[in-house]
Amino acid sequence: MRSLALHWKILIGMLLGVVFGFLMLQVQGGAGFVSNWVKPLGTIFVKLLKLIAVPLILASLIKGISDLKDISKFASIGLKTIVIYVLTTVIAISIGLTLVNIFNPGNGVSDATISTLTDTYANSTNVQGKIAEATRQQESGPLDFVVDMVPENAFSALSNNKLMLQVIFLSLFLGISLLLIGEKSAKPLKDLFDSLNDVVLKMVDLIMLTAPYAVFALLAHVVVSSGDPELLYALLFYASVVVGGLLLMVCFYLIVVAVVVKKNPFWFLKQISPAQLLAFSTSSSAATLPVTMERVEEHVGVDKEVSSFVLPVGATINMDGTSLYQAVAAVFIAQALNFDLTFTDQLMIVLTALLASIGSAAVPGAGMVMLVIVLESVSFPADKLAVGLALIFAVDRPLDMCRTVINVTGDATVSTLIAKLEGKLHDAKPKDWDDHWEEVK
Ligand code: ASP
């Protein structure tokens, strides 16, 4: 398979995984076989990606900052990152709200479907767990998320993948201090992080060698564990509205790449496609982050000074796909359960979905937790929350896969855009896992 481009190999792995999953559904005990013997391959792959996420952020951000010739450049990158992330999220939410108000997918849901979905999911641990998780998150104070960004113990920050913002904070602090001690004293530590950064990127190349097989396992498992096809069918209209919105978001990114970045948008898509395919297969922008960084730096040509900050921050706070989905899902639930939303309510959805996308974890299913908070912001009755979530639960996994692709594409587009604005977009110089193979074999 060596001559085929990586994205084709991954795509073939995905398709074979889907076909294998369907075949196994026809065989007695097939689903169990996939869960016990096939899925672990995908789980190991996701664990490997998560394993290198923290060292990669640490090394690449410290390298990025310590390479800066002018520290004020960093303030400009930081400000542009936040402003552009907020803008793209607001655009995503507006697209979602416009589509759901035009097509009204919730109005066509029959009472029979509502009661089947409620019976199947409303009391499930999954739905109840999401509501409980949302309540926990809501109990925190308004500035808690800023306080939470600052670690009190460097090692515990580095030992928990969920504390990505703390790792970013620590890396920034270390990188800036390294700049301030002068070139001579900084050199040993800087060389260490430079080398660590190269090593971790090589680990990404090595892990990616197994990607086609891992996505096979991940997708076969998604197929054997998906819900009743009839329930999926009942939600097809709603799901199509979400997917239609996500596709419009892709068009928006491609226009930005063509008009502002002045690159061929299809070339851009091809360069980042392995990251998109992994986002789809894993439903996790955090797990995909190492691959997104590798693709954007080595294959698109974004300077590390930009990508090392913009991408990890984006994986944590910028979720265009998730916020678009939350807007559509919130209005869909309101329509299906005859809960009237005023114009002010819809504006409230824009605001809370924006905050929710910042607060959502970059892991599978996180968007649904924040959806509870979006619904509560428009005074949706608490006793109907479980029914509301039950309505969309059957299609949540496939939609999660799609929205994660948009989350990752949004981060890649914004980092390329900022690189362009800062004059930090270079010619791509892809590296391969075996560039130095001759020297060591
Ligand atoms: N799975 C999404 C991500 O990791 C978050 C979500 O929408 O649930 O980006």
Q: For the segment 344-359, what is each residue's pLDDT rounded down to a tens digit?
A: 999 999 999 898 888 7
pLDDT at 99 over 60: yes
Q: Nearest-CA neighbor of 311 among 297, 301, 299, 325?
A: 297
Which residue minimizes the CA distance to atom 1 of ligand 1? 364
Per-residue pLDDT of 44-68, as tens digits, reads 999 999 999 999 999 999 988 888 8
pLDDT band, residue 364 (cuts 50/70/90): confident
pLDDT for 127 equals 86
Ligand 1 centre to CA of 191 (Å) is 35
* pLDDT (mean) for 231-260: 94
Using the 8-state DSSP alphabet, how is residue 299 labeled? Answer: I
- With cut-offs at 50, 70 and 90, classify the pLDDT of residue 2: low
Q: How far, in Å, CA of 216 to CA of 35, rounded?
A: 13
Question: By CB neighbour count within 10 A (0-12 exposed, 13-18 middle, 19+ buried), where does 24 fall?
Answer: buried
Question: Residue 319: CB within 6 Å of ligand 1?
Answer: yes
Distance from the alpha carbon of residue 285 to the mean position of ligand 1, in angstroms: 6
**Which residue among 242, 246, 278, 284 has the greatest number of ligand 1 atoms within 8 angstroms of its CB, and so is best to mutate?**
284
Q: Per mean pLDDT, which of 12-16, 174-178, 346-350 is the most reliable?
A: 12-16
142: pLDDT strictly greater than 70: no
Cβ of 316 closer than 6 Å to ligand 1, yes or no, is no
> Is the pLDDT at 256 greater than 80, yes or no?
yes
Mean per-residue pLDDT, 259-265: 97
> Residue by residue, what is the 3-state secondary structure of 155-212?
HHHHCCHHHHHHHHHHHHHHHHHHHHCCHHHHHHHHHHHHHHHHHHHHHHHHHHCCHH
Q: Is the CB of 357 under 6 A from ligand 1?
A: no
pLDDT at 353: 87
Q: How far is the CA of 145 from the centre of ligand 1 (A)?
A: 19
Mean pLDDT score across all residues of the chain:
91
Q: What percent of the chain has pLDDT over 70?
A: 99
Whole-angstrom distance, CA of residue 245 vs CA of residue 69:
41
Cα of 363 vs centre of ligand 1, distance in Å, is 5
Coil vs helix vs strand at 315: helix
Q: Does ligand 1 lie within 6 Å of residue 367's CB atom? A: yes
Q: Which CATH superfamily is domain 6-431 in?
A: Sodium:dicarboxylate symporter (1.10.3860.10)
Place of tokens 């937790």: 369
Residue with tokens 């504390």: 163
Q: How far is the CA of 152 from the centre of ligand 1 (A)?
A: 27
| Residue 184: band (very low, low, confident or very high) from pLDDT cuts 50, 70, 90 | very high
What pLDDT, in 10s, does the model give residues 391-425? 898 899 999 999 999 999 999 999 999 999 999 99
In this predicted structure, the answer to whether residue 192 has a pLDDT above a threshold of 90 is yes
Structure tokens at 426: 């270079």
Share of the chain above pLDDT 90, in %: 68
Residue 1 has pLDDT above 60, yes or no: no
Q: Is the pLDDT of residue 271 over 90?
A: yes
Instruction: pLDDT band for 314, please (50, 70, 90 cuts).
Output: very high
> Residues 326-335: what's their mean pLDDT?
94
Of 50, 318, 319, 402, the one to substitute when testing ligand 1's pocket (max ligand atoms within 8 A of C-beta) is: 319
Q: Check residue 96 and give its pLDDT.
A: 97
Q: What residues contact 430, with CB distance under 8 A and at least 6 apart?
A: 298, 299
Q: For the chain, give every domain's residue range.
A: 6-431
Distance from C-alpha of 154 to C-alpha of 171, rounded to nearest angstrom: 10
Q: CA 256, CA 261: separation in Å to the nearest integer?
A: 7
